[in-house]
């Protein structure tokens, strides 16, 4: 498939790029800092640009089969990035609708699962990461109302542990005792969702 990876220089994004190449996909990345993708420079198309600019996004989205995103604010989140995910969602959904590309897989956060008891994800999020909860929630709402063919992955704490392929997936809920997942396993889930056209218009809890 022809995939546009966004947030490609981040922890999850680099795994998406690496695994997408392993799966034989043709990868394009739109990034603000191309030097971080040097290890892949001969194997992917790298475009530099503004990920909050709908017109720039539209140019690179045209002709792609799908968009896979590990985009998110760098932590600690600066005041300027308080609404970053929402701004990104508005720009991306508009660009995709204009470009006529409908499939998108987005990484959000398990803090939004209100019914999770162990861990008490929503409570922890509201107490310690209220800004991220508000911005991620606003982002999800934009995708949900977009009319696009979206899948939202909500992982709990991300780790840099290796790929296992052994993770749990639950539509609409965080699996019980879902405390952590490796970025590599999140990338695996996201690529399989795009390849198998799975979990269309679903919010999915994933954890190791």
Ligand X SMILES: NC(=O)c1ccc[n+]([C@@H]2O[C@H](COP(=O)([O-])OP(=O)(O)OC[C@H]3O[C@@H](n4cnc5c(N)ncnc54)[C@H](OP(=O)(O)O)[C@@H]3O)[C@@H](O)[C@H]2O)c1
> Which residues contact ligand X (rule: CB under 6 A)?
7-13, 32-33, 36, 51, 70-74, 84, 107, 109, 132, 155, 157-158, 183
Edge to edge, the sheet with strand 45-48 lists 45-48, 26-31, 2-6, 66-69, 103-107, 149-154, 202-207, 168-171
- Measured from the CB atom, is 100 or 177 closer to ligand X? 177
**C-beta separation of 12 from 71 below 8 A:** no
Q: To the nearest whole angstrom, how small is the minimum distance from the Cβ of residue 35 to ligand X?
A: 10
Distance CA 6, CA 3 (A): 10
Q: To the nearest whole angstrom, how small is the minimum distance from the Cβ of residue 87 to ligand X?
A: 9
- Measured from the CB atom, is 7 or 101 closer to ligand X? 7
Q: To the nearest whole angstrom, how small is the minimum distance from the Cβ of residue 95 to ligand X?
A: 14
- Measured from the CB atom, is 18 or 36 closer to ligand X? 36
- Measured from the CB atom, is 78 or 200 closer to ligand X? 78
Q: To the nearest whole angstrom, how small is the minimum distance from the Cβ of residue 33 to ligand X?
A: 4
For residue 110, give the nearest of 169, 74, 154 by alpha carbon.
154
Q: To the nearest whole angstrom, how small is the minimum distance from the Cβ of residue 113 to ligand X?
A: 11
Distance CA 41, CA 29 (A): 10
For residue 154, give the nearest of 104, 207, 205 by alpha carbon.
205
- Measured from the CB atom, is 66 or 100 closer to ligand X? 66
Count CB atoms within 10 A of the CB of residue 42.
6
Q: Is the peptide bond before 72 cis (omega within 30 degrees of 0)?
A: no
């Amino acid at each position: 498939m022809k995939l546009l990876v966004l947030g490609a220089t981040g922890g999850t994004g680099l795994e998406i790029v690496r695994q997408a190449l392993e799966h034989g996909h043709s990868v394009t990345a739109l990034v603000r800092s191309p030097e971080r993708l040097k290890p892949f420079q001969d194997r992917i198309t790298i475009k530099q640009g503004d990920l909050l600019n709908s017109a720039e996004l539209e140019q690179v989205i045209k002709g792609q089969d799908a968009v896979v995103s590990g985009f998110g604010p760098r932590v600690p989140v600066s005041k300027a990035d308080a609404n970053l995910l929402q701004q990104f969602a508005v720009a991306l959904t508009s660009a995709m609708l204009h470009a006529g590309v409908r499939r998108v897989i987005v990484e959000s956060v398990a803090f939004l699962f209100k019914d999770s008891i162990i861990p008490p994800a929503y409570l922890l999020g509201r107490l310690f990461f209220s800004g991220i909860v508000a911005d991620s929630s606003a982002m999800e709402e934009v995708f949900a109302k977009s009319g696009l063919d979206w899948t939202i992955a909500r992982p709990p704490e991300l780790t840099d542990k290796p790929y296992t392929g052994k993770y749990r997936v639950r539509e609409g809920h965080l699996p019980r005792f879902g405390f952590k997942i490796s970025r590599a396993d999140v990338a695996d889930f996201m690529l399989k969702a795009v390849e198998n056209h799975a979990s269309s218009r679903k919010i999915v809890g994933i954890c190791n």
